[in-house]
Amino acid sequence: MPLSAPKLDDRTAPELLRDISGFLPEWSRKGLRQGKSAEFDRALMQVVARFGELIINRLNRAPDKNFLAFLDLLGVSPLSMEAAQVPLTFYLSPGTPSAMVPAGTQVGAPPPKGEQRQIMFETDRSLFISSVKLDRLLTKNGQLDRYTDLSSVLIEPSESQVIAQSTCVAETRPIPHLLYVALPVSASAPEFDRMKLNVAVEKPAAAALRLQWEVQASKTQSPETTQSTTGQKITTKVLVPTSDTTKNLSQTGVVVFENLPKVVPLAIEGVTGLWLCCRLLTPLTGSAAQAEGVLHESQLALIKQIITEIEQTRKDLPVEQGFWNASKLDLTKDFYPFGDRPKIGDAFYLAQGEAFSNPDAKITLHLELTKVPSAGGDAAEAARTTPPQLTWEFWNGSSWEELGVTGRHLRLGGEGGGPGKSRWSRLLSRRR
């Protein structure tokens, strides 16, 4: 806060008139005259008091003037004059979708009272004006956790629709509260046989909840609701858990689903994938005034972690390609995986994109052997009955990773593997 200069005299005109009246007996022996002369004397005293007030005001401004003179002596000058700035509003003409107001556009303001010339202003930068139309109009009742869609009132009706629209009543709906859980599988994955949600709750719910689980399923399923996404019709399928020890996400536990439909991809906040939706059916509010039957936000459970486990059973998956060393094999006929004369170091390559690209898959290969008669006596018979040592390897996307040897239960995909990184596995002949 700036300091103000002290006043030399702070008396006003009424105070000066009072002082003059008090000193008048000392200044004049006769004092204040009577009759009409007294009115003249009093008017003269008021004039003197007024002029005295003006002089005092000018004297009180002397320190500020002296301060300005001191700043001028030091070489400090006042700020340069600046143009006045005002906010300007531009409106589009009817039927004009958009327009550009370039910088330097002059706009005239009405002249002040008693003046004839307008006050001119110029825009200091360009301005793009676009016609904006209100598409939706919603009203929210947070206490009851409901909203009303009034978008119909934004449509300009024709003459034949005026009467019908005037009788239309807006529908009040509950505000949706949705929890989306991303499913850790590819969008091209087949149907799920079983899905399990391991839920860890940090703070249990303080009241009972009503939930509904949903997925976006293909149109062959019986729909609850139908919508169109990118030209493809999908339906919302309601899921009923086989078991739920979380009591509708109120405590730590497991939620299990079985016999799930074919889930289709859905875009949530720009992320496209397979999603599991949990819809809260209990009304929710955050206001202090809580209505009957409405749950407060503080009564919800605080979930710490959700881990999703998915089980898929796939049978009779055909081998897509096969190679013996660099030679391609015709898998539609009987073949020798290591050639008709195998030797140490020969390799048999198998390709199966769906099975080998899943690092968590447990894969069983079913081989049907063809009995081939051979000659050679006891040595040939010993060679057939002595199993060769074979090593399984898996291509993890950058190198071959050894899984084990023949006779062991192998799990395809080690630490270097990952979904979609490989579709190949090979079998090497180490020794006979």
CB 349 within 8 A of CB 424: yes
CA 86 to each of CA 19, 81, 156: distance values in angstroms, whole numbers, following the listed order: 49, 16, 36
Q: Which of 318, 329, 322 is nearest to 349 (CA)?
A: 322
Could you tell me the pLDDT band of residue 180, with boundaries at 50, 70 and 90?
very high
pLDDT at residue number 339: 86
Q: Write the secondary structure of 41-63 as one string of H (helix), E (strand) and C (coil).
A: HHHHHHHHHHHHHHHHHHHHCHH
DSSP letters of 359-426? TT----------------HHHHHHHHHSPPEEEEEEE-SSSEEEEEETTS---S--TT--TTS--EEE
Where is pLDDT greater, at 172 or 431?
172
pLDDT digits (tens, 9 = 90+) for 252-297: 999 999 988 888 888 888 888 889 999 999 998 887 777 777 888 8
Mean pLDDT of 313-320: 85
Strand residue runs (E) in 175-274: 178-182, 194-203, 211-218, 226-229, 232-239, 243-244, 253-258, 266-268, 271-273
- The one-character DSSP state at 263 is B
Domain boundaries, the chain: 13-74, 99-130, 138-173, 176-311, 321-431
Distance of CA 314 to the CA centre of its chain: 37
Return the SS3 of 65: helix
pLDDT at 160 over 80: no
Tell me what the pLDDT averaged over the chain comes to: 80
pTM: 0.53
